[in-house]
Chains A and B, each alone.
Chain A
Amino acid sequence: DTAVSQTPKYLVTQMGNDKSIKCEQNLGHDTMYWYKQDSKKFLKIMFSYNNKELIINETVPNRFSPKSPDKAHLNLHINSLELGDSAVYFCASSHVEGGLYPEAFFGQGTRLTVV
């Protein structure tokens, strides 16, 4: 069973289009994240959700809108895609409240290419 799964794995789209990436975790974690990894491998946090509530929004353009329908899902919708949005997007989850299960796990990543 995949702990954190995100779809799709690859996404190629034209500038101006709208696209979504889905993420699901089956670990019972209370916190989920979206990260952007650029070509230099730097991992920048975009959003953090705890128990479906937005906790962190790191100066991300309004074109990016996360949605968490429940604790196990965190989706990312991107409007009006730009060339600079091309990157690998990772979803992750962890259990922040309570230290019994401290690990944080990452999804397989979605490689977004905007042409």
Chain B
Amino acid sequence: ELKVEQNPLFLSMQEGKNYTIYCNYSTTSDRLYWYRQDPGKSLESLFVLLSNGAVKQEGRLMASLDTKARLSTLHITAAVHDLSATYFCAVLNDYKLSFGAGTTVTVRA
């Protein structure tokens, strides 16, 4: 069974500093997704990574994928308050999109 592990589960960030969220998965995957969820809201698609070495960036967020290590990272550069949310990674395998437990991010001044 495909397992997806995220860490840390909680991340308190200081504004202006850099941080990384890690996502490990247990079997080969077709695609890896990153989502953001604000309280009481749906999941907003951030990135989808398809191949080894893929890197995507949007604003202060950058996601990368190492399929050999079965590891994806979400790097946050110079955190700002607007980035406070829960971030999920998810892996697609055999018509099943499996999620990590989520990382709750709080950005403080």
Interface residues of A in 47-98 (CB under 8 A from B): 48, 50, 55-56, 90, 92, 94, 96
* Binary interface encoding of chain B residues 69-109 relative to chain A, with 1 for a CB under 8 A from any of its CBs, else 0: 00000000000000000101010101111110110100000
Are B95 and A55 within 8 A (Cβ)? yes
Are B43 and A90 within 8 A (Cβ)? yes
Are A99 and B50 within 8 A (Cβ)? yes
Distance from A43 Cβ to chain B, minimum over Cβ atoms (Å): 4
- Interchain pairs with CB closer than 8 A, number: 61
Of all chain A residues, which has the CB nearest B49?
A102
Are A45 and B97 within 8 A (Cβ)? yes
- For B102, what are the chain A residues with a Cβ–Cβ distance below 8 Å? 41-43
- For B37, what are the chain A residues with a Cβ–Cβ distance below 8 Å? 41
Interface residues of B in 44-79 (CB under 8 A from A): 45, 48, 50
- For A35, what are the chain B residues with a Cβ–Cβ distance below 8 Å? 99
Distance from A23 Cβ to chain B, minimum over Cβ atoms (Å): 12
The B interface is mostly helix, strand or loop, or mixed, namely strand
Size band of the interface chain A makes with B:
20 to 34
Of all chain B residues, which has the CB nearest A108?
B42
A94 to B98, CA, bound (A): 13
Distance from A85 Cβ to chain B, minimum over Cβ atoms (Å): 19
Are B42 and A90 within 8 A (Cβ)? yes
Pick from B48, B94, B104: contact of A104, CB below 8 A: B48
Question: Which 10 interchain pairs have the tightest Cβ spacing?
Answer: A43-B99, A106-B43, A55-B95, A48-B95, A102-B48, A108-B42, A106-B42, A41-B102, A56-B96, A109-B42
Complex A-B: 9 CB contacts under 8 Å: A35-B99, A42-B102, A43-B88, A48-B97, A56-B95, A96-B30, A104-B33, A104-B45, A104-B90
Given A55-B95, A96-B30, 15 more pairs with CB closer than 8 A: A31-B95, A41-B37, A41-B86, A45-B97, A55-B94, A56-B95, A92-B43, A92-B97, A96-B92, A99-B31, A102-B31, A103-B48, A104-B90, A104-B97, A106-B42
